Structure 1
Amino acid sequence: MPTDKKRNDLLTQPIKSTLTKMTIPMMMGMVALMSFNLVDTFFIGLIGTDELAAVSFTFPITFTLISLTIGLGVGTSAVIAKTLGSGQEDKAQIQGCSALILSTVLVIGLAVLGYLTIDPLFILLGSEANTLNHIHDYMQIWYLGAVFLTLPMIGNAILRASGDTKTPGIIMALGGFINAVLDPILIFGWGPVPAMGIQGAAFASVAAWIVSSSLIIYLLTVQRGLVELAIPAFDKLKLSVIAILKIGLPASGASMLTPLAMSILTAIIAQYGHEAVAAFGVGQRIESIASMLVLALSMTLPPFISQNLGANQTKRVQQAYKMSCRFVLFWQLGVYVLLAVCAPWIADAFSDNEKVQHLICIFIWILPVGYGLQGIVILTNSSFNALHQPMISVQLSILRLFVFYVPFAYIGGLVGGIVGLFAACVIANLLMASVSFMRFNHYFKQIQITSKA
Structure 2
Amino acid sequence: MRRSVDLLDGPIAGSLAKLALPIMGTSLIQMAYNLTDMIWIGRIGSNAVAAVGVCGMFMWLSNGIAAVPRLGAQVKVGQTLGAGHEQRAVEYTQTGIQLGIFLAALVTLIYTFGNEGLIGFFKLNHESVSNDARIYLIIVGAGMIFTFMNQIFSGLFTAMGNSIVTFKVTTVGLAINFLLDPALIFGIGPLPALKVAGAAIATVLAQAIVFFLYMLVVMGDSRIFQKVRLWKFAGFRHYKEVIRIGFPGSIQNIIFSAISMIIARLIAGWGDAAVAVQKVGSQIESISWMTADGFASAVNAFTAQNFGAGKKERIRRGYYTAAGIITVWGICTSLALICIPQVFFRIFITEADILPMGVDYLRIIGFSQLFMCMEITSSGAFQGLGRPVFPAATGIVLTVARIPMAVALSATVLGLNGIWWSISISSILKGILITVGFVLLLRRYMNHTEKFYSKDR
1:324 corresponds to which of 322, 325, 328:
322
CA deviation after TM superposition for structure 1 residue 380, in Å:
1.8
Q: Distance in 2 between matches of 1:23 and 1:197?
A: 36
SS at match of 2:225: coil
Map of 1:138-287 to 2, 5 A cutoff? 138-191=136-189, 193=191, 196=194, 198-223=196-221, 225-228=223-226, 230-231=228-229, 234=232, 236-263=234-261, 283-287=281-285
1:71 corresponds to which of 57, 62, 68:
68
Match of 1:435 in 2: 433
CA deviation after TM superposition for structure 1 residue 420, in Å:
8.2
Q: Distance in 2 between matches of 1:236 and 1:86?
A: 19
Amino acid paired to 2:148:
T
Match of 2:78 in 1: 81
2:24 corresponds to which of 22, 27, 37:
27
Match of 2:455 in 1: none
**TM-score normalised over the length of structure 1:** 0.83
Amino acid paired to 2:306:
N
Amino acid paired to 2:89:
A
* 1:50-88 superposed Cα distances (whole Å, 9 cap, x missing partner): 665544443333332222113321112111111111111
Amino acid paired to 2:310:
N
Match of 1:96 in 2: 93
Match of 1:298 in 2: 296
Give structure 2 stretches of 5+ with no counterpart.
452-457
Match of 1:116 in 2: 113
Q: Distance in 1 between matches of 2:341 and 2:38?
A: 24
SS at match of 1:218: helix
Amino acid paired to 1:313:
K
Amino acid paired to 2:145:
V
Amino acid paired to 1:30:
S
Tell which deviates more after alignment, 97-106 or 150-159: 97-106
SS at match of 1:6: coil
Tell which deviates more after alignment, 430-439 or 46-55: 46-55
SS at match of 1:66: helix
C-alpha contact 2:184 2:194 (8 A) present in aligned 1: yes
Q: Distance in 2 between matches of 1:346 and 1:47?
A: 18
Q: Distance in 1 between matches of 2:364 and 2:45?
A: 35
SS at match of 1:236: coil
CA deviation after TM superposition for structure 1 residue 214, in Å:
1.3
Q: Distance in 1 between matches of 2:121 and 2:342?
A: 41
1:38 corresponds to which of 31, 35, 38:
35
Q: Distance in 1 between matches of 2:117 and 2:270?
A: 33
CA deviation after TM superposition for structure 1 residue 310, in Å:
0.8
Give structure 1 stretches of 5+ with no counterpart.
none
Aligned residues: 448
CA deviation after TM superposition for structure 1 residue 31, in Å:
2.2
Q: Distance in 2 between matches of 1:290 and 1:315?
A: 29
Amino acid paired to 1:95:
Y
C-alpha contact 1:171 1:212 (8 A) present in aligned 2: yes
Report the CA distance shift for 1:325/1:261 in structure 2 as closer, same or farther (over 3 A): farther
Match of 2:286 in 1: 288
C-alpha contact 1:381 1:396 (8 A) present in aligned 2: no
**TM-score normalised over the length of structure 2:** 0.82
Tell which deviates more after alignment, 145-154 or 216-225: 216-225
CA-based RMSD: 3.7
Sequence identity percentage: 22
1:444 matched to 2:450? The reply is: no
C-alpha contact 2:122 2:261 (8 A) present in aligned 1: no
2:371 corresponds to which of 364, 370, 373:
373
C-alpha contact 1:97 1:228 (8 A) present in aligned 2: no
Report the CA distance shift for 1:442/1:407 in structure 2 as closer, same or farther (over 3 A): farther
Tell which deviates more after alignment, 363-372 or 420-429: 420-429
Report the CA distance shift for 1:452/1:243 in structure 2 as closer, same or farther (over 3 A): closer
Amino acid paired to 1:146:
M
Map of 1:391-402 to 2, 5 A cutoff? 391-402=389-400
Amino acid paired to 1:80:
V
SS at match of 2:310: coil
Tell which deviates more after alignment, 429-438 or 270-279: 270-279
Tell which deviates more after alignment, 53-62 or 274-283: 274-283
Report the CA distance shift for 1:185/1:367 in structure 2 as closer, same or farther (over 3 A): closer
Higher-Rg member (1/2): 1
Would you tell me which structure has more helix in proportion to its own residues? 1
CA deviation after TM superposition for structure 1 residue 104, in Å:
0.9
Report the CA distance shift for 1:355/1:77 in structure 2 as closer, same or farther (over 3 A): closer
Q: Distance in 1 between matches of 2:84 and 2:425?
A: 44
Tell which deviates more after alignment, 168-177 or 193-202: 193-202
